Structure 1
Amino acid sequence: MTTRQRMGSTHIEAERPADRKSLGASLIGQLLEWFEWSSYAVFAPFIAAAFFDKSDPTSALLSTFGVFAVGFLVRPLGGIVFGRIADRIGRKNVLMTTIIIMALTAVLIGLMPTYEQIGIWASVILLVVRVLQGFAHGGESATANSYIPEIAPAARRGKWGSLVYMSIFGGSVIAYTLGGVISLALTDEQIAAWGWRIPFWLGAVAALIALYLRRHMKESDHFEELGDGGAPTYDNLSDTRSQTPQRPNWVNVLLVIGMVSGVTSAHYTWTSYISTYAISHEGMSTQGAYWVSVFAQTCGLIALPLWGALSDRIGRKPVMYTFAIAMALLQIPLMNFIDARPWTMLVAATLSVVVVAAGGALLAPIMAEVFPTSQRTSSIGFAYSLSVAVFGGTAPYIFQWFTSKDLTHISGIYVVVLCVLTLVSMRILPETKGIDLREV
C-alpha cells in the first residue's frame, strides 16, 4: 500500500461526535442556501413582475442581467475570494460569514418594496441583493467542498463528501415542493401580491437556526495543523506542487475543471432544463412536468450517499467512470424518449438524475483529495466555480438554441462531449480513495 493510501492517525481518522455535529451544522446551512437559491428560480415570474417593468428599458436590462448573469458570474468570484480567505483564517469562519450574508439577503428579498412602490430602485436593490447572494453562495460551495471531506474519516470520505451534493438536490426539492404547495393553497393574485415572499421569510428564520448550529462547529484539524506558518501564497498556483503525483497544482486545477464539466452540464440539463423542454417543446402539462422533476430529484437525493459509500469500497475512479460512460450513452436516447406523456419524462429524468448522482457524489471527496490543504479551498473555489459557470450554466441555453433550430435530436452531443472530457480527466487523475489528506 502506498504512502498516499495509508489512513491517517487515530485522532484524525476516527469518527467523533464533534465531527458528526459539525457535519450536520454545515449541511443544514448548505441546504438552506440551496433552498433560497432555488426558491428564486421557482418564483422567478412573480419576482420579475414585482421588481421589474419591461416597458422601462433600464429595468428590463437589469432584469436580464440579474436573472441570467449574477448566478453564474458572481458565484465563481465568491468561490475564489472566500476560498483564499478560508485557506488563510479557517473554514469555519467563512461558513459562518456566508450563512450570515444569506440570512440578511433572504430578509431583504422578503421585505423589499416593489417596482410600483419605489420604481427603478426596486430593480437596483434586487440586483445588488442577488449579487451578494451569488457571492456568498460561491464561497459556501467552495468551503463546504473542502471542509466536509477534511472532517470526514478517510474510510467514509466518499459517503460524507456525497452529502455536499445532497444539499443541492435537497434544497431544490424543498423549494419546488413548497412552490407546489403555495400554488395549490393560494391564487395567482395572492402569490403575486405576497405569496412569493413566503420562502424567503421561512429561509430567514431557518438561517438563524443554522447560524446557531454553526457557532458550535469545530475547525478542520487539517487546517489547524498548518500552524501560523502554513498560510499559502498566491503569487503563482504552480509554485505549490501536489503529490498526486508530483505535478504542478495548476495542472490539477485544469483536470478538476474537466472532471466537473460533464457532471455539471448533465446536472443542469436534467434538473433545470428538462421540465422547460418537456412543457414548451413536447407539450407536457406544467403540473406533470413539475412533479416529475421533484420525484426524479428525490431519487437522486437517495442515490447520492449510496454512490459515495460505493466509492469508499471500490474506489473513486470506477464510480466516476460509471457516471461518464452511462451518461454519454444515455443522454441522447433518453432526451428523444420524452414526449407529452409525463411518464416518459419520469423514466428518462429519474434514470438520468440517478446517474448524475454518481458523478455529483464524488466531486467533493475527489477535489479535496487532489489539492493540498494550504490551497485546497482556493483551488476548489476556482476550478469548481469556473467549471459550473462555463459548462453548467450554459447547458440549458445551448439546448434551447438547438431546439429552436429544430436540432433537438443532436442537442445532447454537448453533454456527451463533456462526459468524455470527464472520463479523460479521471483517467489522468490518480485513485485517491483512503488517502491521508495531510500527505497531499
Structure 2
Amino acid sequence: MSINSDVQDTGVEDNTPGRTRTILAGLVGNIMEWYDFAIYGYFAATIGKQFFPSEDPAISLIASFGAFAAGFLARPLGGIVFGRIGDIVGRKRVLMLSVMAMAIPTTLIAFLPGYESIGILAPITLVLLRIIQGLSVGGEYTSSIVFLVEQAPAKRRSFFAVWGMWGATLGILAGSAVGDVVATVLTDEQIADWGWRAPFLLGSLVAISCLLVRRSLTKDTPSPEVSSPVKQTFMLHYPTVIKVILLNIGTAVSFYAAFVYVVTYVQVVDGLPKEIALNLNTGSMVLLLIFMPIAAWLADQIGRKPMMVAGAFLIAFGAIPFFHLIHTTDPMLIFIGEIGFVLAITIFSGGLNAANVEMMPTSVRCTGLAFSYNASVGIFGGLTPLIVTWLLTTTGDPIAPAYWIAFAGALSLLATLFLYRETRHIVLSS
C-alpha cells in the first residue's frame, strides 16, 4: 500500500514562485480543454451546416452534437490510456501529451475544409478529431489533479487540487464569452463563412502557452515500478475504484443539472428569454470560481470528510427546495436557487478533489482515478440532462429533475459516511 498515516509528506518547495508555477501548470490545460468543448457547443449549429449539410437544419444540428457526444463518450477510454502513461512514465510527461492531444485537433478543426470542399471526408475527419479531443480530456483533468496534489505541501493539498476544477470552470466561461463576442461583432454570414473558426485559432494560442508553462516544470513525481497499472487497478484496487465512483456521483449529477440543464429548463419550463437564462448561469459560475478556493482552504483546515458530508447533505436535501426556487418566473428567486447548488457543489468539491487522489495507491493513481472519475461523470453526469428531461416529460412534475439530483446526493452522502475514511493526514509516498 502506498499510503501511510505516520508522517507528513513535504510536496513542492514551499515558496511563492514554486507554488504559483505548479498551480498554473495544473490549471492551464483544463482552461484550454474546456474552452474548446464550450466553443464547439456554442457554434454547433454553424458547424452542423458546414460539415453535416441537410435540407433539415435539425438533422444537421443533431449530427453536429453527435460529433460532440463522440468526444464525450471517449473520455473513459482516454482516462485509461493517459492514466497508464502517467503511472508508467510520470505525471509531467502525460500532462504534456494530453495538451498536445487537444491542441493539434483544435488547430486542425480551425482549418478543416467543409463538406462542400472535400465531401464525406469532412464529417469523418471532424468526428475523428473530436474523439481524439475526448481522449485527451479523459486524461487531462485527473492527471492534473494528481500532479497538483502530489506536488502540494502536505497541509495544502485540497487548496492545490481545486485549481484543476477552477481551470475547467474558467475554460467553460471563456468559451462562452468568446462565442458571445464573435456573435456580437460578426454577421451571421461572416460567422458561417469564417468567423466560427476564429475561436478555435485562439484556442491554439492558449495551447501553445500551456505547453510552454508545462515545459518549464523541473519537478515531477517519480514513476513507480509498475508494468500493468490497468490490470492492478481492476484486480487489486477495485474497492477503491467503486468508492471513488460513488463519491463523485453527487457532484457530477448536480453540476450537469445546475450548469447545463438548468439553462434549458429556465427557457422551456419557466418561459424566460435565453438571455436571462444565460446571464443567470454565468453569474452562478462566477460565484463557483469565487467559492471553490475558499471551500478547498477550509477542507485543509478541518478535513475532507466534514466538507464532503455537509456538501452531500446539501445536495440530497436541498435539491428539491432549490428547484422550487428555480421553477418560478422571478430571476432573483431562480438565481437564489442556483446559488444553493453552487454552495452545495463547492462545499462537497472542496474536500472531494484532494480525497480522490489521496484514496488511490501511488502505483495506479493516474489510471485508477482517471477511470473511476470519468466513469462517474460520464455515466451519471453525462446522462443527467437526458434523465431529468425524461422525468419531467413522463411525470409532468416540474420539480421531477430534483428527485434525480437528490438521489445522487444521497448516494454520495452514504458513501462519504460509511465508505470514506479521512485522508487529510496520509502520506502520498512514491
* Distance in structure 2 (CA, Å) of the matches to 1:65 and 1:261: 24
> Which residue of structure 2 lines up, in the alignment, with residue 22 of structure 1?
22
* Structure 1 residue 7 displacement after superposition: 4.4
Query: Cα gap change, 1:265/1:344 in structure 2, threshold over 3 Å: closer, same or farther?
Result: same
Aligned counterparts of 2:79 and 2:63: Cα–Cα separation in 1: 24
| Residues 107-256 of structure 1: pairs in structure 2 closer than 5 A | 107-221=107-221, 223-224=222-223, 226=224, 229-231=225-227, 233-237=229-233, 240=236, 249-256=237-244
Amino acid at match of 2:14: E
Q: What residue number does 1:438 align with?
A: 429
Q: Which residue pairs with 1:48 in the alignment?
A: 48
Farther-moved stretch of structure 1 (100-109 vs 407-416): 407-416
Which of 281, 291, 307 is residue 293 of structure 1 equivalent to? 281
8 Å CA contact retained: 2:7, 2:426: yes
The C-alpha deviation readout for 1:109-162, integer Å capped at 9, x for no partner, is 111112233333221111111001001111112211211110011100011111
**Which structure 2 residue ranges, 5 or more long, are not aligned?**
none
Q: List aligned pairs for 1:254-265, cutoff 5 A.
A: 254-265=242-253
- TM-aligned CA deviation for residue 183 of structure 1: 2.2
Q: 1:60 to 1:120 in 2, by over 3 A?
A: farther
Aligned length in residues: 423
Q: CA deviation at 1:290?
A: 0.9
Paired residues of 1:36 and 1:200 also in contact (CA < 8 A)? yes
Residue in structure 2 matching 1:386, options 375, 386, 409: 375
Retained in 1: the 8 A contact 2:9–2:428? no
Residue identity opposite 2:294 in structure 1? L
Alpha-carbon separation, structure 1, partners of 2:65 and 2:196: 20
Structure 2 residue 415 is matched with structure 1 residue 425: yes
Contact 1:284 1:341 in 2 (8 A): no
How far the C-alpha of 1:233 sits from its partner, in A, is 4.6
Displacement, 1:238? 6.0
Residues 43 and 196 in structure 1, CA contact (< 8 A), matched pair in contact too: yes
CA distance in 2, matches of 1:197, 1:36: 12
Query: For residues 35 and 7 of structure 1, do their structure 2 counterparts lie closer, same or farther at Cα, with a shift above 3 Å needed?
Result: farther
| 1: CA distance, partners of 2:362 / 2:4 | 14
Q: Alpha-carbon deviations, 1:148-184, whole Å to 9, x = none?
A: 1100111000111111111121111111122222222
After superposition, the Cα gap between the structure-2 partners of 1:114 and 1:375, relative to the gap in structure 1 and judged at 3 Å, is same
Instruction: Report deviation, 1:189.
Output: 2.8
Answer yes or no: is the 8 Å Cα contact 2:9–2:153 preserved in 1.
Answer: no
The CA deviation string for residues 360-384 of structure 1, in whole angstroms up to 9 with x for no partner, is 3333311111011111000001100
Alignment CA distance shift 1:65-1:176 (3 Å): closer
Instruction: Please tell me whether the aligned partners of residues 158 and 365 of structure 1 are also in contact (alpha carbons under 8 angstroms).
Output: yes
C-alpha distance in 2, partners of 1:233/1:83? 9
Specify the SS of the correspondent of 1:86: helix
Shift, 1:196, TM fit: 1.9
Q: Does residue 410 of the first structure (1) align with residue 400 of the second (2)?
A: yes
2:338 alignment partner in structure 1: 349
Q: What whole-Å deviation, never above 9, does each CA across 1:184-217 have from its counterpart, x for those lacking one?
A: 2223332232222222110001111111111112
Shift of 1:359: 2.3
Amino acid aligned to 2:422: E
**Which residue of structure 1 lines up, in the alignment, with residue 68 of structure 2?**
67
Offset of 1:106 from its aligned partner? 1.1
Distance in 2 of aligned mates of 1:52 and 1:238 = 40
Question: For the residues of structure 1 that align with 2:22 and 2:297, how far apart are their CA atoms?
Answer: 20
Once the two structures are superposed, residues 371-428 of structure 1 have per-residue CA deviations (whole angstroms, 9 ceiling, x without a partner) of 1111100000110010111100000111111222323322211111111111111121
3-state DSSP of counterpart to 1:368: helix
Whole-angstrom CA distance in 1 between matches of 2:233 and 2:173: 37
Distance of aligned partners of 1:288 and 1:219 in 2 relative to their CA distance in 1, 3 Å threshold: same
Which residue of the partner structure matches residue 92 of structure 1? 92
Report % sequence identity: 31
Q: Distance in 1 between matches of 2:265 and 2:22?
A: 40
Q: Secondary structure of the equivalent of 1:79?
A: helix
Q: Establish whether residue 284 from structure 1 lines up as the match of residue 272 from structure 2.
A: yes
Q: What SS does structure 2 have at the residue aligned with 1:283?
A: coil
1:246 is matched with none
Q: 1:119 to 1:283 in 2, by over 3 A?
A: farther
SS at match of 1:194: helix
**Is 1:395 aligned with 2:384?**
yes
| Maintained 8 Å contact 1:4/1:436 | yes
AA matched with 2:75: R
| TM-aligned CA distance change 1:234 to 1:121, over 3 Å | closer
Give the stretch that moved more between structures: 139-148 or 81-90: 139-148
If the length of structure 2 is used for normalisation, what is the TM-score?
Answer: 0.92
Aligned mates of 1:204, 1:238 — CA distance in 2: 36
**How far has the Cα of 1:42 moved from its partner?**
1.9
Given the superposition, is the C-alpha separation of residues 362 and 45 from structure 1 closer, same or farther in structure 2, using an over 3 Å criterion?
farther
1:272 counterpart (260, 267, 271): 260
Which residue of 2 is the match for residue 77 of structure 1?
77
Spell out the pairing of 1:310-321 with structure 2 (5 A cutoff): 310-321=298-309
CA distance in 2, matches of 1:46, 1:133: 20
Q: Which residue does the alignment assign to 1:322?
A: 310
Conservation of the 8 A alpha-carbon contact between 2:115 and 2:122? yes
Q: In structure 2, how many angstroms separate the alpha carbons of the residues matched to 1:42 and 1:58?
A: 17
Residues 1:401 and 1:426: Cα distance change in structure 2 (over 3 Å): same
Would the alpha carbon gap of residues 340 and 110 (structure 1) be closer, same or farther in structure 2, given more than 3 Å must change?
A: farther
CA distance in 2, matches of 1:103, 1:93: 15
In structure 2, the CA distance between the partners of 1:127 and 1:145, relative to structure 1 (3 Å rule), is same
Match of 1:360 in 2: 349
Secondary structure of 2:217's counterpart equals coil
Does the CA contact (< 8 Å) of 2:318 and 2:340 recur in 1? no
